[in-house]
Amino acid sequence: MVNKILIANRGEIAIRVMRACREMGIPSVAVYSEADKEALFVNYADEAHCIGPPPATASYLNIQKVIEVAKESGADAIHPGYGFLSENPKFARACEEEEIKFIGPSSRVLKLMGDKVAARREMVRAGVPVVPGTDECVAEFEKTKDIAKEIGYPVIIKPSGGGGGIGMTIVANEGELAKALESTQAIATTTFGLCDVYIEKYLSNPRHIEFQLLGDSKGNAIHLGERECSIQRRHQKLIEESPSPAVTPAMRIKMGEIAANAARYVGYEGAGTMEFLFSDGKFYFLEVNARVQVEHPVTEMVTGVDIVIEQIRIASGLPLSIKQEEVRWNGWAIECRINAEDPLNDFVPTPGKIKSYHSPGGIGIRVDSGVYTHYTVPPFYDSLISKLIVWGRDRNEAIMRMRRALYEYIIVGVKTNIPFHKAVMENPRFVKGELGTHYIERETTLINDMRRIMEREKSLEERLSHLLEGKKRIAAIAAVTALARTYGVPYGQSTNGGG
């Protein structure tokens, strides 16, 4: 087993990893930027080292500095979390050279998966169905025109080294192609340092469904079923669930096996996710995320498998603690990403001081958070401050529980997207499980529903803020509980819970 783990990340995921370390009796080392001195994860860690100024390029992305701290503190493994250095083959390579265990796939596999065109080709070889498109990059216009014509419009042009939905351009017809090609190449070059782009068929309103994979150093690979992540804004996931209302048990077994076989085929070590678009009953491979994902807890809630502990075991050379035939899926889990952003102002980030923080509890609730009362959310990073995850025996129970929990969740001082989540949980199409990646744009009533909810709560929130200003804590607690009572949704709405 590894002896000491440095966590090269921040916020809720750093704490998530440290919790696993603590359960395994492994000391954890935090690295943090000057902006994160007061962050919860810095205090949670067994030891913490400042690695530089606030901008991520000067701290969390500084490979040399992170490795230096690992060596100085005697950490023999590094967990990269998600984002930052987590899928950076150069970082994995640097760890390999220093004989520090990178908790994730080898630099070779990271390089392969980071190049989306190469990954597509490899997946075709491994028998995985992919979105119709090219298995080479496209560059000059004439050739791209022929390829697009063959695939059939609409098409989508994507940076090969991309991520986070950045730079992807939808092209409706040939007239738009030249400009789209040029702009995607320009964004790819400035953002990812690589001008390579490729082209795929654009599916009109697919579901985003992904499979959780685990592979060990003994050549075993299993899947833990799927997550549905169709609720996205600007290609960023907001709400995820497991299982997917669209997947039947037979589909789960078939696609899960295809995904696990592909992981075995490429010699995948660690936790990973194979993302698919699902349209007209068919799956199409999108990409592999070679790391733990933000939404991993929904899988943990339904399978009982601690994905981070598995990652650490795998990195320590141990076999997977569970065999495919032992994996059981129990009930339904939903995750809402709680972001510090203003739902009434196009969801712009709202860093600032949290004046009061009260998180929900009770049966079936999990909160993975990186914040606390009086914590100041810094402006330099992602706006995700916590994840609210609920479990229920079926989808209906999970939705009712999520509604209840969202109304218990009180964050005063910074605006959050909680009202948006409340509106989604009450939305009839969501309740029916009729999802697609364009769900948010197409549910045109959502924003008004959210305003109505915010209006309903306004006077109570103002009272609460006022009481907190006056430090009348007892009265503030009363206001908090009153706010939870604004929860006005009738119980027992049925859903077509599905598969």
Minimum distance from residue 87 beta carbon to ligand ADP (Å): 10
Tokens in use for 257? Answer: 């096996």
With CB atoms as reference, the residue minimizing the distance to ligand ADP is 437
> Cβ closer to ligand ADP: 243 or 360?
243
Minimum distance from residue 263 beta carbon to ligand ADP (Å): 17
DSSP letters, 228-253, are: EEEEEETTEEEEEEES-TT--HHHHH
> Cβ closer to ligand ADP: 166 or 477?
166
Minimum distance from residue 204 beta carbon to ligand ADP (Å): 7
Minimum distance from residue 32 beta carbon to ligand ADP (Å): 27
103 closest CA partner among 264, 262, 316: 316
> Cβ closer to ligand ADP: 51 or 171?
171
209 closest CA partner among 227, 195, 232, 197: 227
Q: Between β-strands 77-79 and 101-102, what pairing exists: parallel, antiparallel or unpaired?
A: parallel
Q: Between β-strands 28-33 and 5-7, what pairing exists: parallel, antiparallel or unpaired?
A: parallel
Tokens in use for 478? Answer: 């009363």
* Range 116-119, long-range pairs (CB < 8 A, 24+ positions): 116/158, 116/159, 116/160, 116/161, 116/162, 116/198, 116/287, 117/160, 117/196, 117/198, 119/287, 119/288
274 closest CA partner among 265, 264, 282, 262: 262
Region of 84 on the Ramachandran plot (φ > 0 left; ψ -120 to 50 alpha; else beta):
left
Minimum distance from residue 247 beta carbon to ligand ADP (Å): 16
228 closest CA partner among 200, 207, 249: 207
**Residue 198 near residue 147, CB atoms below 8 Å:** no
> Cβ closer to ligand ADP: 59 or 244?
244
> Cβ closer to ligand ADP: 201 or 355?
201
Minimum distance from residue 211 beta carbon to ligand ADP (Å): 14
Rounded CA separation 10/154 (Å): 39
Minimum distance from residue 384 beta carbon to ligand ADP (Å): 15
Rounded CA separation 5/28 (Å): 5
- The size of the chain, in residues, is 499
> Cβ closer to ligand ADP: 73 or 191?
191
> In the annotation, is 291 catalytic?
yes
Which spans of this chain sit near ligand ADP (rule: CB under 6 A)? 131, 156, 162-166, 200-203, 206, 208, 232, 235, 275, 277, 286-287, 437
Active-site residue, selected from the candidate residues 291, 366, 395, 404: 291
DSSP letters, 26-79, are: --EEEEEEGGGTT-HHHHHSSEEEEEE-SSGGGTTT-HHHHHHHHHHHT--EEE
> Cβ closer to ligand ADP: 202 or 268?
202
Minimum distance from residue 1 beta carbon to ligand ADP (Å): 33
Those residues whose C-beta lies under 8 Å from the C-beta of residue 302, and which sit 6 or more positions away, are 225, 242, 243, 329, 330, 331, 332, 333, 391
Axis-axis angle for helices 473-484, 395-408 (nearest 10): 150
Rounded CA separation 498/419 (Å): 27
Burial class (CB in 10 A: 0-12, 13-18, 19+), 127: exposed
Minimum distance from residue 166 beta carbon to ligand ADP (Å): 6
Minimum distance from residue 260 beta carbon to ligand ADP (Å): 20
> Cβ closer to ligand ADP: 31 or 203?
203
> Cβ closer to ligand ADP: 277 or 371?
277
Tokens in use for 178? Answer: 């030249």
Those residues whose C-beta lies under 8 Å from the C-beta of residue 131, and which sit 6 or more positions away, are 200, 201, 203, 277, 284, 285, 286
Those residues whose C-beta lies under 8 Å from the C-beta of residue 173, and which sit 6 or more positions away, are 153, 154
> Cβ closer to ligand ADP: 92 or 440?
440
Which residues are catalytic, by number?
Answer: 291
